[in-house]
């Protein structure tokens, strides 16, 4: 068994028993259940669920990811004083949080959705895509949180920066893009807007979902452009590929910082 | 046994270590002393590979420590404070460290002597600070390491446990283990340390046996000797 798996084994035991993960694991079944019960058609319920996912998954991933790094700081030093390599520890630490969060999300969404029965193949695909994007967002924002928290010694500043990144990507970004588009509506904006969207994982996730939900109302302006440009399957493939890049980039960055960091202590 | 050769380290604007040269002798207890901010913690963390020198190198015998983690199989570290994972039990933590070291524990004396067994089944969130510190101590000694690094080891321990721990340190030394220790409690170091390395402004200003420090400073007790070293900047 490699060192990463050994660390993961115990990290998982710790994280799975934590109160914050329990609450997170309860949130999605509750939300899914509520939306299916009161949301009208399952199509509409899934749509609302998608909007909730796009906001909540990045937020909780950022918050728990940052806290995880700061809370484990001293313990990591103890682990690093064993014959443990930093890269292996980073892997165990990251997967130890991202994996249970992703599983909690997938189970929390899938089980109630299946229990309510799905009408037609379209929604099965949608549930699958919702799971995929949720897993991507969990991985991406946990990695972003790690990369930020490892850079800032001060936990309040680290958490502040991480939350700012969340606000920027999940809330402000699309509004800004819309404003820009509005301002320059006389210009051919498709390509610049496309680039803008590839630069934001939340937008990418949104597009992936909305392209397949057949609704443009909640797509945001960038989504509408993207759809026009790529159409369904191709757009989804490009968006998922871009999400993979978005996952890899902060992960490698965090790993790099962790491998070179001086653990100065308090 | 362990040679620090022209070690320098700068954090931002601060030169924490400026050319530290010293040898840590095998089979002896070396106390690193110095005022706050003199670089003690940084020095200890360098021995563990937690901080890397900007220049200079550390040798363990003929082996240069260059980022490979395997030498730490031979090191036991007791940090000043650790926050263990809240939801793991003591048993799980001990199993984790054993897994990571990939060999069975060879010394559970401290677990018995500190009467820890009864608390090992509980999660860490349910344990007092003192009990956590005992677990911390037990881990450091558990694999009979050649080199023990103890950072303020008795901070947070009750007098009985502190005594047990000190006796354990002496026994390890008598078995030929090497110990590096820092503490603010000079009377504690007085009873433990064979050698004293005095660090000031990132340099070793004095390094010799405890008797030599006392002789040089003309003091009877280690506390007085170190105080004098701090006042005079190590120059005698």
The size of the A-B interface in CB pairs under 8 A is 98
- Give the closest-approach CA distance of A219 to chain B in angstroms: 41
Q: Confidence band (pLDDT; 50, 70, 90) for A222?
A: low
CB contact under 8 A, A83 and B70: yes
Q: Smallest Cα–Cα separation from A133: which of A243, A41, A220, A48?
A: A243
> For residue B49, which residues of chain A lie inside 8 Å, CB to CB?
80-81
- In contact, B124 and B90? CB cutoff 8 Å: yes
- Residues in a beta bridge with A170: none
Q: Give the residue from chain A lying closest to B51, CA to CA.
A: A262
> How high is the pLDDT of residue A125?
80
Residue A248 pLDDT > 70, yes or no? yes
Instruction: Identify the pLDDT of residue A233.
Output: 74
Contact across the interface for B79 and A6, Cβ inside 8 Å: no
Q: Is A2 on the interface with B (CB under 8 A)?
A: no
Q: Pick from A172-181, A202-211, B130-139, B206-215 the range whose average pLDDT is largest.
A: B130-139
Average pLDDT taken over every residue of chain A: 87
Residue A204 banded pLDDT, cuts 50, 70, 90: confident
Residue B57 confidence (pLDDT) above 80: yes
Residue percentage of chain A with pLDDT more than 90? 56
| pLDDT, tens digit, 9 for 90 and up, residues A115-167 | 877 665 557 888 888 999 999 999 999 999 999 999 998 999 999 999 999 99
Q: Indicate if the pLDDT at residue B224 is higher than 80.
A: yes
Of B45, B72, B88, the CB nearest to A13: B88
**Beta-carbon separation of B50 and A262 below 8 A:** yes
- Give the residue-averaged pLDDT of A48-63: 93
Give the model's confidence band at B235: pLDDT under 50 very low, under 70 low, under 90 confident, else very high. Answer: low
Mean pLDDT of A201-207: 88
- Mean pLDDT rounded to a whole number for chain B: 92
* Tokens representing residue B54 in the block: 């900007």
- The answer to whether residue A7 neighbours chain B at the CB level (below 8 Å) is yes
Strand B2-11's sheet: what is its strand order? B14-24, B2-11, B55-60, B63-64
* Domain range summary for chain A, segments of one domain joined by +: 3-260
Assigned token pair, A55: 């906001």
Q: Is the pLDDT of residue B169 over 70?
A: yes
Q: Is A82 on the interface with B (CB under 8 A)?
A: yes
Q: Which of B51, B82, B88 sits opposite A78 (nearest CB)?
A: B82
Name chain A contacts of B182, Cβ cutoff 8 Å: none
What is the rounded CA–CA span in Å between residue A194 and residue B123?
50
When CB atoms are compared, the residue of B51, B72, B83 closest to A83 is B72
Q: What is the domain partition of chain B in residue ranges?
A: 2-232
Structure confidence by residue, pLDDT tens digits, B129-168: 999 999 999 999 999 999 999 999 998 899 999 999 999 9
CA distance A146 to chain B (A): 18
What does the pLDDT read at residue A215? Answer: 61
Distance (Å) from the alpha carbon of A140 to chain B's nearest alpha carbon = 24
User: Residue B69: which of A15, A75, A83 has the nearest Cβ?
Assistant: A83
CATH superfamily, with its number, for domain B2-232: P-loop containing nucleotide triphosphate hydrolases (3.40.50.300)
Question: In Å, how far is B81's CA from the nearest CA of chain A?
Answer: 8
Asked whether B51 and A262 are in contact (CB, 8 A), the reply is yes
| pLDDT, greater one: A26 or A126 | A26
Nearest partner of A51 among A235, A228, A209, judged by Cα:
A209
Note the pLDDT of residue A112: 84
* Nearest chain B alpha carbon to A262: B51
Give the residues across from B123 on adjacent strands: B89
Can you tell me the ipTM of this complex?
0.92
- Cross-chain Cβ contact A72/B85 below 8 Å: yes
CB contact under 8 A, A3 and B100: yes
The stretch A64-78 carries a mean pLDDT of 95
Percent of chain B residues topping a pLDDT of 90? 72
| Residues A94-120 pLDDT 10s | 999 999 999 999 999 888 888 877 665
Average pLDDT over residues A43-52: 84
Q: Which residue of B has its CA nearest to A74?
A: B82
Task: For residue B225, give every residue at least 6 positions away whose Cβ sits within 8 Å of its Cβ, in sequence order, or none.
Answer: B196, B213, B214, B216, B217, B219
CA distance to B115, B154, B177, B194, per residue, from B145 (Å): 22, 19, 7, 19
The whole-number pLDDT of residue A226 equals 64
Residue A78 with chain B: CB contacts under 8 Å: 77, 79, 82, 136, 139
- The gap between the terminal CA atoms of chain A, to the nearest Å, is 33
What's the pLDDT score for residue B96? Answer: 96
Does residue B123 have a pLDDT over 80?
Answer: yes
Is the model's pLDDT at A189 over the cut of 90?
A: no
Residues of B whose CB is below 8 A from A262: 11, 45, 50-52
Calculate mean pLDDT across residues B28-42. 91
Instruction: State whether B86 and A14 contact (CB < 8 Å).
Output: yes
CB-CB neighbors (< 8 A) of B101 in chain A? 82-83
Q: Which residues of A touch B41 (CB under 8 A)?
A: 264-265
Predicted pLDDT at A122: 56
State the smallest CA–CA distance between residue B216 and chain A in angstroms: 33
């Amino acid at each position: 068994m490699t060192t990463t798996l050994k660390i993961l084994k115990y990290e998982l035991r710790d994280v799975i028993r934590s109160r914050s993960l329990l609450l997170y694991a309860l949130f999605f079944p509750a939300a899914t259940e509520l939306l299916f019960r009161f949301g009208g058609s399952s199509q509409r319920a899934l749509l609302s669920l998608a909007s909730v996912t796009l906001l909540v998954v990045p937020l909780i991933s950022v918050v728990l990811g940052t806290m995880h790094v700061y809370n484990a700081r001293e313990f990591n030093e103890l682990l690093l004083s064993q014959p443990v390599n930093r890269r292996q520890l980073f892997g165990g630490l990251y997967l130890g949080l991202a994996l249970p969060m992703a599983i909690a999300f997938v189970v929390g969404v899938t089980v109630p959705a299946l229990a309510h029965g799905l009408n037609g193949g379209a929604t099965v695909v949608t549930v699958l895509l919702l799971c995929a994007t949720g897993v991507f967002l969990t991985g991406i924002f946990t990695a972003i949180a790690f990369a930020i928290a490892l850079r800032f010694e001060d936990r309040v500043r680290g958490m502040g920066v991480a939350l700012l990144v969340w606000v920027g990507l999940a809330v402000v970004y699309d509004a800004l893009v819309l404003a820009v588009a509005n301002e320059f509506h006389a210009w051919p904006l498709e390509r610049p807007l496309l680039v803008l969207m590839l630069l934001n994982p939340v937008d990418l996730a949104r597009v992936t979902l909305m392209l397949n939900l057949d609704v443009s109302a909640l797509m945001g302006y960038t989504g509408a452009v993207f759809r026009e440009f790529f159409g369904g399957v191709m757009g989804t493939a490009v968006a998922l590929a871009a999400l993979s890049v978005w996952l890899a980039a902060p992960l490698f960055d965090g790993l790099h910082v962790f491998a070179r960091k001086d653990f100065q202590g308090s | 046994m362990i040679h620090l050769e022209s070690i320098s380290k700068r954090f931002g604007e601060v030169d924490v270590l400026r050319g530290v040269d010293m040898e840590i002798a095998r089979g002896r207890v070396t106390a690193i002393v110095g005022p706050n901010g003199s670089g003690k913690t940084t020095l200890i963390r360098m021995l563990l590979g937690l901080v890397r020198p900007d220049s200079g190198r550390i040798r363990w015998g003929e082996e240069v420590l260059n980022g490979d983690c395997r030498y730490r199989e031979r090191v036991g570290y007791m940090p000043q404070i650790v926050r263990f994972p809240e939801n793991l039990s003591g048993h799980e933590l001990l199993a984790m460290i054993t897994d990571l070291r990939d060999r069975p524990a060879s010394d559970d004396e401290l677990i018995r002597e500190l009467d820890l067994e009864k608390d090992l089944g509980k999660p860490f969130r349910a344990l007092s600070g003192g009990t956590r510190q005992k677990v911390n101590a037990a881990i450091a000694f558990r694999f009979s390491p050649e080199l023990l690094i103890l950072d303020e080891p008795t901070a947070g321990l009750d007098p009985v446990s502190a005594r047990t721990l000190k006796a354990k340190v002496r026994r390890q030394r008598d078995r030929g283990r090497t110990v590096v220790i820092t503490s603010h409690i000079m009377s504690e170091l007085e009873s433990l340390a064979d050698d004293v390395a005095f660090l000031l402004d990132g340099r070793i200003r004095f390094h010799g046996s405890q008797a030599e420090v006392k002789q040089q400073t003309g003091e009877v007790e280690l506390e007085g000797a170190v105080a004098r070293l701090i006042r005079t900047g190590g120059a005698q």
